[in-house]
Structure 1
Amino acid sequence: MKLNIMDLNRLKCFQAVAEKGSLQDGARHLNLTTSAVYQSIKKLELETQKHLFFRSGKKYILTDEGRELQELFQRFLWDISQFQNQDRVTSDSLNGEIRVGLPLNFSKSVFIPLVKSFHAEYPNVRFHITIAETRRLLNQVAAFELDFAITDDAIPAEFLSKVARQEVFKEELVLVCSRSFYKKNESKFKSVKTMKDLPHLDYSKNLPLLQRWYKLHYKRQIKISDFHTIDNVETMVVALKEGMGLGVIPRDLYDNPVLTKELHAVEAVTGSLFNLLFLVQEENYINNTLMKKFLLYLNTSLKK
């Protein structure tokens, strides 16, 4: 028998009459007319080519074939109930693995503390965390090797149609150098014309964060010819401490008392520079119960 929406309605009519023992009581139970229930059962018997009831006055008594169909339908209802209950249990006692990709500083300063508190509540959840730069994370997201990643807004054009993204976090950035570097070149910090000739450090060759800093504070991009690129924030901090030049780092790193003693923050002319971070998933990724629960937790925690 091919099941569709009409078939399921007929099965409900059949079940009601079988349980109540009469057409009228079954119709009353379903809040339908007796005629509608009668027609549903008649059509069901035609579909199944089975005689489902004996009629004895107003009583409807199941035939052997009717009892067999009733058992099948009750089993179907029980399976649906188990499926619903299983989903509820999963929501209360989650288990499984979450594969996430992160930039280094965000993983240390923000994500790991959140994982610790989430895992304390749901100890059967495991995390597989990958630390990498944006392009590698996007490749893994697009290949379904990661459930999601947190990246900056520098998403290469070839990934824009492959991923969905949602802004989740905003980190403040500061331009810093070592205190010895500042003391040695203090006179050059008085003008952007002389500052631009100092050695600079950024995370990629286009110098995106440095150019954003200068554009924010001096309303224009500048030409920097003396620069190095370092694609790791911890190594960037080491290079800055060694006096290799000027570079942009997250404020939460700079605010560490140990680093504050070693690094000098360049005074901002206008407001603060922020780096937007996005939660990125493959365009067609479907979140299961575990992922929905964790992403809700993550979004709620990041908004605090």
Structure 2
Amino acid sequence: MVSKLDLYKVFCKVAKSKSFSNAAKDLYMTQPAVSQAIMQLERELDTRLFTRTPRGVSLTNEGRLLFEYANSAIHLIQVGEEKILEFKNLTMGELKIGVGDTISRYFLLPYLEIFHNRYPNIKFKIINGTTREICSILKLGEVDIGICNFPIEDPTLELRSLIDVHDIFVCGEKYKSISSQPVSLNEVVKLPLIFLELESNSRKYVEDYLISKGIRISPEFELGSHDLLLEFAKINLGIACVTKQFSQEYLNKGLLYELQLTEEIPKRSIGVCFLKSVPLSPASTKFVEIMENKIT
């Protein structure tokens, strides 16, 4: 059964070529099939669209009016199909990522560079936030994927771990002597503590672990960024709980010292999350693939 769209495609081709036979060749149809399609469209519209002459066909006044709209519509459909193909081939589009400042700086940047070098026409939109905020905007459709601190408990999200990280305590020169020998968590929490703010998922992970050991904390400082934790510890304002993988520059340069715990805090992970109910776009799929496979 010929669809209405097919009828309009035949109509536009006949109108442009002014010939049933030429239109049939262009459409890889028989001339009787083209004639039948035009007759069907005229019946459905109850309007004569062409004037038949021995030399071909010409549009009636009604036909000219219809052609203006039908030809424009078919052109827009073709453009849309081309745009879809461009999206699939990653020659255009946008990738929206929700991520925190620290993860963006210490983890995400190399993958953004790789992806941009491969697909320079894909635009990036980066939205910063805490893990909780990122999960929220992910559900609202404001980002395609989120790069977050795990664990996350949400059955609507697909979670894929990308890198293991370790939470440690660090100090500056003033407390350096403490770092020279193993120290228990009970002893650490008696010192002036510097933690991320309560909304942070990594803070919650560490605090939940300490509570499971019967240890409660009351930090002297609660800060909004990982870099501030490092800076506050460096100027001896207390003992900071930081992510080891994101603190290597300070540790390697001797600006901070890691406390040797008698019982290490269990590792956690950083990963990518996205909605289970919504298929990933081609750009999102390729970006996740790059991160998972660590493609260079």
TM-score by length of 1: 0.63
Cross-structure match for 2:45: 48
CA RMSD of aligned residues (A): 4.9
Cross-structure match for 2:222: 230
Amino acid at match of 2:222: I
Amino acid at match of 1:134: T
Are 2:168 and 1:170 equivalent residues in the alignment?
Answer: no
**Corresponding residue pairs, total:** 278
Amino acid at match of 1:273: K
Are 2:130 and 1:133 equivalent residues in the alignment?
Answer: yes
Distance between the aligned counterparts of 2:265 and 2:278, measured in 1? 38
**Structure 1: runs of 5 or more not aligned:** 215-219
| Identical pairs, percent | 14
- Mapping of residues 1-304 of structure 1, within 5 Å: 6-17=3-14, 19=17, 21-22=19-20, 26-27=23-24, 29-32=26-29, 35-55=32-52, 60-64=56-60, 65-83=62-80, 92=91, 101-112=98-109, 118=116, 127=125, 129-130=127-128, 132-142=129-139, 149-155=146-152, 160=154, 164-167=157-160, 169-178=162-171, 181=175, 183-184=177-178, 189=183, 194-199=184-189, 203=196, 208-209=205-206, 221-228=212-219, 230-231=222-223, 232-241=225-234, 242=236, 244-245=238-239, 247-257=241-251, 260-264=254-258, 266=260, 273-280=267-274, 293=283, 296-297=286-287, 300=290, 303-304=294-295
Amino acid at match of 2:246: D
Native 8 Å contact 1:167 1:277 kept in 2: yes
**Structure 2: runs of 5 or more not aligned:** none
3-state SS of 2:48 partner: coil
Please, which moves more after superposition, 45-54 or 228-237?
228-237
Distance between the aligned counterparts of 2:121 and 2:4, measured in 1? 44
3-state SS of 1:61 partner: strand
**Deviation string for 1:266-300 (max 9, x for gaps)?**
3798998242233457977996xxxx647744752
Native 8 Å contact 1:17 1:26 kept in 2: yes
1:70–1:225 Cα change, 3 Å:
closer
3-state SS of 1:275 partner: strand
1:87–1:26 Cα change, 3 Å:
closer
